[in-house]
């Protein structure tokens, strides 16, 4: 009996060690893995954004009773001496007549040598929302009065703008009212005036595309990667600083109708954070787990780098990624709609493995967690 007990313990230890080893395989380079808060005055949260200011990181998201509820506001936390301040409301959807509407999808952008910008949306639903902007002169401690963007302008719809070498602040945006369409909103004066480019050609597959992120390949060559209803990430390319674009087309990376983000690093490589999930059958939507990170030199051939979350409980979603001045990567994302996460990664320590035919590289002896029923996935 004792012998069998010892063998059983050995097997359990072996399985546990294998699982730990396999998990570690996709966790190389992670320096910090933390929640922004433990308790908050709201039960639900979503849609992360992150910016580096002269005084440190600022993190924003929306929180309230649930997505679409009129009490949903934009909350901000600041990193002070290595710790996050309690989230405070920075914007709400209170209207001049006293009624309330939900707020949505904040986007932070630090103007070089200037203000911190907070873009967000107000409206009953994405097909009817409008763009708003607040500014901060003290690195996110206090905010200006809200100003509405020009009619039909939304601002960056989910992911951060990119300052191009020609001086244009380039915001990737999209609309959902009459089909999903991508366009760009461009400012040469950091948000004082705007002009539009697009919408983009939906391509031969008539793709439904929203929430692009921008990769800058240099010398005016730009790429977008975006969420779709077509079971794959979409891309388009520009060779003239975003003034004209190719038609949208599918990549070989799966998409489960969930938001993504991407960033071009100082060394010219590109980082993508997304749910590497192909929905079952011919469905457009799938579980928002796991949450993956891939790296590419050219924006086309991607290598697996990290799994930030992998659990049978969905959802880990709506990520943001930035590279700070010290070269580290910072990821922010929704954790089960209950909390907001922050993960810091040293990109020099990533172990990469090629993604072939859209398949995340298999790990010998590892089985993905069996998914459990969860709250319904919304936007």
**Mean pLDDT value of segment 4-33:** 57
**Mean pLDDT value of segment 231-251:** 98
Cα 231 to Cα 278: distance, rounded to the nearest angstrom: 6
* Alpha carbon 296 to chain centroid, angstroms: 17
Q: What confidence tens digit (pLDDT) does each residue in 290-318 have?
A: 999 999 999 999 999 999 999 989 899 99
Q: What angle do CA 331, 65, 49 make, to 5 degrees?
A: 20
Cα 132 to Cα 265: distance, rounded to the nearest angstrom: 29
Cα four-point dihedral sign 281, 365, 296, 349: positive
Q: What confidence tens digit (pLDDT) does each residue in 24-49 have?
A: 679 999 999 999 999 999 999 999 99
Cα 223 to Cα 372: distance, rounded to the nearest angstrom: 36
Q: What is the pLDDT of residue 363?
A: 60
3-state helix, strand, coil in the chain (%, to 5): 10, 45, 50
Decide: 324 and 58 in contact? Cβ < 8 Å.
Answer: no
pTM of full prediction above 0.85 = yes
β-bridge partners, 369: none
- The share of the chain scoring above pLDDT 70, in percent, equals 89
Cα four-point dihedral sign 278, 283, 288, 294: positive
Q: Where are the beta strands (DSSP E) in 66-129?
A: 73-80, 83-84, 88-91, 103-110, 116-122
**Mean pLDDT value of segment 173-184:** 96
368 or 101, which is more confident? 101
- 30-354, CATH topology level: Neuraminidase (2.120.10)
DSSP character for 224?
A: E
Cα 171 to Cα 187: distance, rounded to the nearest angstrom: 8
Number of CB atoms found within 10 A of residue 363's CB: 17
Q: What confidence tens digit (pLDDT) does each residue in 108-127 have?
A: 999 999 999 999 999 999 99
Q: What confidence tens digit (pLDDT) does each residue in 82-117 have?
A: 999 999 999 999 999 999 999 999 999 999 999 999
Q: What is the pLDDT of residue 225?
A: 98
Cα 230 to Cα 209: distance, rounded to the nearest angstrom: 8
Cα 372 to Cα 379: distance, rounded to the nearest angstrom: 20
Q: What is the pLDDT of residue 369?
A: 52
Cα 91 to Cα 74: distance, rounded to the nearest angstrom: 5
Per-domain residue ranges of the chain: 30-354
pLDDT higher than threshold 80 for residue 255: yes
**Mean pLDDT value of segment 273-284:** 96
Q: What is the pLDDT of residue 378?
A: 59
Number of CB atoms found within 10 A of residue 98's CB: 6
Cα 166 to Cα 243: distance, rounded to the nearest angstrom: 12
The chain-wide mean pLDDT, for the chain, equals 92
Q: What is the pLDDT of residue 362?
A: 81
Distance set, CA 26 to CA 31, 87, 343, 354 (Å): 13, 30, 14, 13
Q: 158-169: buried (b, 16+ CB within 10 Å) or exposed (e) per residue?
A: bbbbbbbeeebb
Helical segments of the chain, H only: 2-25
pLDDT higher than threshold 70 for residue 75: yes
Cα 40 to Cα 87: distance, rounded to the nearest angstrom: 7
């Amino acid at each position: 009996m004792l012998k069998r007990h010892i063998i059983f313990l050995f097997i359990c230890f072996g399985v546990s060690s294998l699982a730990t080893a396999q998990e570690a395989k996709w966790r190389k380079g992670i320096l910090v893995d933390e929640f922004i808060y433990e308790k908050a005055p709201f039960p639900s949260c979503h849609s992360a954004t992150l910016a580096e200011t002269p005084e440190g990181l600022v993190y924003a998201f929306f929180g309230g009773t649930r997505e679409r509820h009129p009490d949903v506001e934009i909350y901000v936390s600041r990193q002070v001496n290595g710790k996050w301040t309690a989230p405070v409301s920075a914007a709400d959807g209170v209207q001049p007549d006293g009624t309330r509407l939900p707020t949505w999808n904040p986007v932070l952008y630090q103007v070089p040598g200037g203000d911190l910008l907070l873009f967000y949306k107000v409206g009953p639903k994405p097909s009817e929302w409008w763009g708003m902007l607040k500014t901060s002169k003290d690195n996110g401690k206090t905010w200006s009065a809200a100003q509405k963007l020009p009619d039909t302008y939304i601002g960056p719809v989910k992911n951060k703008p990119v300052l191009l070498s020609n001086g244009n602040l380039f915001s990737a945006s999209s609309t959902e009212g009459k089909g999903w369409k991508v366009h760009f909103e461009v400012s040469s004066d950091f948000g004082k005036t705007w002009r539009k480019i697009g919408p983009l050609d939906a391509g031969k597959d008539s793709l439904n595309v929203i929430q692009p992120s921008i990769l800058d390949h240099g010398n005016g060559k730009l790429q977008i990667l975006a969420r779709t209803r077509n079971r794959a990430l979409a891309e388009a390319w520009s060779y003239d600083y975003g003034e004209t674009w190719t038609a949208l087309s599918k990549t070989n990376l799966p998409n489960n109708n969930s938001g993504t983000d991407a960033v071009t690093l100082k060394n010219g490589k590109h980082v993508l954070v997304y749910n590497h999930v192909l929905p079952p059958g011919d469905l457009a939507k799938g579980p928002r787990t796991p949450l993956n990170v891939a790296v590419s030199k050219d924006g086309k051939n991607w290598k697996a780098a990290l799994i930030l979350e992998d659990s049978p409980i969905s959802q880990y979603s709506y990520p943001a990624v930035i590279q700070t001045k010290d070269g580290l990567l910072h990821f922010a994302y929704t954790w089960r709609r209950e909390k907001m996460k922050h993960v810091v990664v040293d990109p020099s320590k990533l172990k990469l493995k090629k993604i072939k035919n859209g398949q995340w590289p298999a790990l010998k002896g590892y089985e993905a967690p069996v998914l459990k029923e969860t709250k319904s996935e919304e936007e």
